[in-house]
Amino acid sequence: MNQHDPCTWQELFSLNVPSVVGLVSVLDQSIMDRVHHGIIASLLALKKRPQVRYQRSSEMALRLAEQVFGTMETEGELFGFRKPEIAPLLLLLDRRDDPVTPLLNQWTYQAMVHELLGVNNNRVDISTVPDLPKDMPKEVVLSPEQDTFFAQNMFLNYGELAENVKLMMDQFQAKTKQSKDISSIADMQKFVDAYPEFRKMSGDVTKHVTLLGEINRLVDQESLMESSQLEQELACTEDHNSAVSELENLLRKPSISISNKLRLVLLYALRYEKESNNMICRFTDLLGQAGASEEQTKLVALMLEHYGMAQRSGDLFSNKSWLAVQKKNLQRSVKGVQNVYTQHSPYLAQLLEAVQKGTLSESNYPSLAADSATAAAKKRAPTEIIVFMLGGATYEEARCVAEMNAANPGVRILLGGTCVHNCDSFLQELSLMDGTAATSRSTGGGQSLQEGVANGIAAMGFASPAIPDRKQLGALASSVTSRVQAGVSAAASKLQ
């Protein structure tokens, strides 16, 4: 999954636009141009001229839909691709319909790394990791195209990951032992032939063991397993009395960090906003008493103002009607919960299921149709779907899309976003929505289409630095083993 190369029809791409606050209340033309041209660049790279649908409740989604549709109409020669029997679909969504997903701690490899360490253009800064080996680079690349282990494990949960890292380490140690048993010229030749693969494997082992060791340290340090369980309950179940009791207990615990206490209060506020006896004010006060800054406590009110029920068009918590509640309960009873830490499913999953069944609400997600043929085609479920999230996508949603692609070989879904959020970046975006930080209207002229498309393509490309050579391969295995053997074993026992 290359988040910057939509040409490969993978799961995720990002335009690297960190904030769309300038599109929420006033129009910052420079941001709109960048997003518009980035989407046009993606469509040209994919050689697709899709039907366009957008979230009716979002003014910026409507503006973007009109601009993208208008460009495809006026630049007919550029979009003169062969028309398939069923037109592809471009669905433009607004992050404000699902503020829950970016708030949650994550428990699958790629999403955990982004949540705890941060991923920027497939690069991870590990310069702050304690006791980092001297020959280890300060930045590592996590790319499934370059790293087979990551490609195979990026969507696995924490416990499965720990077991596979341990297995990879054991395999490397076995190869290291074999390299010492060189007794003939033929053995030397075999070693030389296999050396490039051997050297790459050594780099991969060091990288993934280091990342797992740091993840394990942060999980313990932040008491993430305890707070994350309540996060999932707040996101997935409706039980106000239990939520109040458990949340108050965790807010009083010194072992839970302020940032994770803030997540819990925000999740509680979003779910129980309309509960007549909700404790939002009390929990906000407890958050301040626990040490949260004024800026942090202010985020609770900002969240409800900009992402609360009045701003959302969908049924995020499946609790707006008796039928929705019963349907959700039935699904949970049939499917069960295999892992309490990964039971949450993004709201995007519901929308994509409706798209694939041809039942996505036309009133809530209207189409821009060029002619009667397009209007007729929209009644048929598309088999090529491009979803773009204004306000940022998440790696949890990318995993959901990947699972849907794997389960439905005849359907291909591509997820794009203005950026890829973790909780920190999402809350930074929220803080910018305070009235005092509103973005003023741009007075400068927009880019030309050609310049915008060129910049859009450039924004989605990157050069990946290579992992440095390892000079002492034999010493590496020993160093790796002694450093994280205990951590790997502990991690494997936590989540299965």
Q: Which residue in the block uniquely carries the two structure tokens 């280890």?
A: 136
Flag whether 447 is in a domain: yes
Q: Are residues 157 and 188 in the same domain?
A: yes
Residue 199 lies in domain: 109-222+466-494
Flag whether 487 is in a domain: yes
**Structural domains in the chain (count):** 2
**Could you tell me the CA-to-CA distances from 487 to 105, 169, 448, 482 in Å, in that order?**
20, 13, 53, 10
Residue 463 token pair: 């050069």
Q: Are residues 360 and 430 in the same domain?
A: yes
The pLDDT score that the predictor gives to residue 126 is: 95
The pLDDT score that the predictor gives to residue 377 is: 56
The pLDDT score that the predictor gives to residue 27 is: 77
Q: Are residues 64 and 133 in the same domain?
A: no
Q: Are residues 440 and 352 in the same domain?
A: yes
Q: Which residue in the block uniquely carries the two structure tokens 């909780």?
A: 423
Q: Are residues 43 and 72 in the same domain?
A: yes
Q: Are residues 417 and 471 in the same domain?
A: no
Flag whether 216 is in a domain: yes
Q: Are residues 425 and 480 in the same domain?
A: no
- How far, in Å, CA of 426 to CA of 390, rounded? 12
Flag whether 379 is in a domain: yes
Q: Are residues 114 and 90 in the same domain?
A: no
- Got the DSSP string for 241-298? HHHHHHHHHHHT-TTS-HHHHHHHHHHHHHHSTT-TT--HHHHHHHHHHTT--HHHHH
Q: Are residues 114 and 95 in the same domain?
A: no
- One-letter amino acid for residue 484 of the chain: V
Flag whether 292 is in a domain: no
Flag whether 303 is in a domain: no
Q: Are residues 127 and 89 in the same domain?
A: no
393 bridge partner residues: 420
- Tens of pLDDT along 334-379? 445 568 899 999 999 999 999 999 999 999 999 997 554 555 555 6
Flag whether 270 is in a domain: no
416 bridge partner residues: 13, 388
What's the pTM? Answer: 0.82
Residue 302 token pair: 């900002």
Q: By three-state DSSP, how is residue 385 classified?
A: strand
User: Which residues of the chain fall below pLDDT 50?
Assistant: 1-9, 188, 191-192, 195, 322-326, 329-335, 372, 436-446, 460-488, 491-492, 495-496
Residue 34 belongs to domain with CATH number: 3.40.50.1910
The pLDDT score that the predictor gives to residue 333 is: 47
Q: By three-state DSSP, how is residue 3 classified?
A: coil
The pLDDT score that the predictor gives to residue 11 is: 86
Length of the chain, in residues: 496
Q: Are residues 92 and 137 in the same domain?
A: no
- How far, in Å, CA of 149 to CA of 140, rounded? 14
Flag whether 272 is in a domain: no
Q: Are residues 406 and 440 in the same domain?
A: yes
